[in-house]
Amino acid sequence: MATSVSEKLRRLLGLFSREDRLLILINADPDAMASAMALKRLLWRQVSAATIAHVNTITRPDNLAMIRLLKLDLLPIKQVDQGQFTRYAILDSQPSHHENFQGIDFDVIIDHHPPAEPKAPFVDIRPDYGATSTIMTQYLRAAKIKPSVRLATGLFYGIKTDTMNFARKALVEDVNAFQFLFRHVNVHMARRIEQAEITLDSLKYYRTALEERSVQKQRIHVHLGTVTNPDICVSIADFFMGIHDIAWAVVSGIYHERLIIIVRNDGSRKDAGKLLGEIFGRLGNAGGHKAMARAEIPLENLQGPVDYTDSKALCRWIMRRLDKKAQSSKEKKNRNYSGSK
């Protein structure tokens, strides 16, 4: 029998005492930041202090706009003394998703990504949900907490971005949370966050993307070379998906001695997260959702398989691996179909 949200909330709140100091860790994006805000609000009178720390470098314009407009108080993990805290939570992610999450005994794990066998006293992972912000909105409603305008706007935007305006897989629970939040949101503030898309520094990468792109059938790919931040790969992949007749976008770049590969598709194709996990999982971290996925591979793991200093060779290597896996899956599907006759 499924556990009710009220029962989960009771268990969650029961973990904490007034003397606890909570560290909330996230890989900062709109959904993660909004979810962290919501947990902090839920535990407002349950703990003595709650700090939100992020493991990634925040450079995307919409993320920076969200922090500024919602007045979010976040700290880079390097500035945090983890020994000062008695409780640890991770939201919109799991311990295996980032090296800075590992080695921490989390008390709370709340996420909507596919489960990677995490262990903690409280685990709430709902991979069918479109956003962790939906889960946190349910907790707020179960606690009978009316969200502030800033919190509602954050959660609203978190659901909006992670469901791609409901263009990708979502549940009726996501819709219900979105409708509930709309009554409390500052729509103009949400629009200002959403419209903060491009910085002057990123324009050179858009030029590279347009000049060096490779298009085959409904798939577009470009390798950007060394980038000043990995989020530019995400922005350009999303930009490519707005092009008519493009069903797959693959954008790669090198950042801090790692190969970053971002994949987007139209949601009706093969599971992008599963695909990247199968292809690149042994070389680094790889996974995501059906329509959006990411791989991060240390360059040292590419010594031998490919000359990563040669952009064209690296580009061909990425696409050959994707093509090979896609062809293998197609042949397997055909064999299964023939065998079922």
The Cα-based distances of 32 to 63, 89, 94 in angstroms read 10, 12, 12
- The closest of 249, 252, 234, 236 to 308, measured between CA atoms, is 252
What is the pLDDT, as a whole number, of residue 197?
63
| pLDDT confidence of residue 99 | 86
pLDDT of residue 22: 98
Give the pLDDT score at 1. Answer: 40
Place of tokens 């197609």: 330
Place of tokens 């949200």: 5
Q: Rounded to 5 degrees, what are φ and ψ at 180? A: -65, -45
Q: What domains can you pick out in the chain, each with its CATH number?
A: 5-194 (3.90.1640.10), 202-336 (3.10.310.30)
The whole-number pLDDT of residue 331 equals: 47
Order of strands across the sheet with 285-288?
Answer: 214-216, 219-226, 248-255, 258-265, 292-298, 285-288
**DSSP class of 101:** G
- Which two structure tokens, joined as six digits, stand for 208? 């590279």
pLDDT tens-digit profile, the chain (341 residues): 468 999 999 999 999 999 999 999 999 999 999 999 999 999 999 999 999 999 998 888 889 999 999 999 999 999 999 999 999 999 999 998 888 898 899 999 999 998 888 899 999 999 999 999 999 999 999 999 999 999 999 999 999 999 988 877 789 999 999 999 999 999 999 988 987 767 777 889 999 999 999 998 899 999 999 998 888 898 899 899 989 889 999 999 999 899 999 999 987 767 898 899 999 999 999 988 888 899 999 999 998 889 988 988 898 999 998 887 666 555 454 445 445 55
The predicted pLDDT at position 168 comes to 73
Pair of tokens at residue 176:
């219900």
pLDDT of residue 230: 87
